[in-house]
Structure 1
Amino acid sequence: MAGSIVNNIAARSYKYIAPTPPSNLIDSTTFTIDFAARKFISVGLDPADQFNVVAHIITPSRYVSLPVDFMRRIFSLMGNILSFILEKPAKYKRNIYLETDCTRVSSMVYRGENVLVIEETNQDGCRVLLNRADLITLQYL
């Protein structure tokens, strides 16, 4: 009986494989935002988008594809975003910081913590949540 439990534990050892980006980027560089939460950002040329430079924020279950110009606009608002994220969480408080025809940047409370929400409005399921530690890591990249 004890031998079968040992065999089950040995058979369940997992090897981590980094998530693949939603599209293959040319000359891309990948940075780790949070290894424990499996959050990465990959920057490169997107052949599906006329070889424009894009940034993919990738989590294990979802991703967001953002043009680099949009990322610059997010970084210009980083002071306002971080001031909200550092506040005490309030229920049902949602702020929209930046919205275009295809992308929205807002903040909300998730699991008792203020988070930044980056989502693509033209595709369902393309939404990434970034907490305070993730934003500070992004700022230092």
Structure 2
Amino acid sequence: MAERLTSGDDAPAFTLQDSTGSNVSLADFRGRNVVVYFYPAASTPGCTKEACDFRDNIASLQGAGYDVVGISPDPLPKLVKFAEKEELNFPLLSDEDHSVAESYGAWGKKKNYGKTYEGLIRSTIVVDPEGKISVAQYNVRATGHVAKLCRDLGLD
């Protein structure tokens, strides 16, 4: 498992394709705050709830200077379908080889129903305008997480 990031660390650079087929890089957000959230699988109940919560709070997040990017190991066609169905208003990026998730400490051992396996750990990382980690939250719950993040960022 990759080491988890903490406040003050440099955010690992990445470039991934989004659900429109465009390349999106962390460098594209230089000079702005960006919420990078990692979720296990599009169109599952928890991931849908979390994505819709970000969608529904995007105006207040962007109004406070925070962009949002979602990253999962899903292939692009699944992300396209998910983004369209849920009318998501922020980029979803495909990290099929989970290299970006690993570099952010969001890939590792998980337990579910008594079984241990490797997988994506639901995580949210906030990167500041200089490319440093300002917030790193791991093993977050899908329900209520966006509201808690907004409170943590002083946006409530």
Bigger Rg, which one:
1
Considering Cα pairs closer than 8 Å and 6+ residues apart, tell me whether 1 or 2 has the greater RCO. Answer: 2
Q: More strand by proportion, 1 or 2?
A: 1
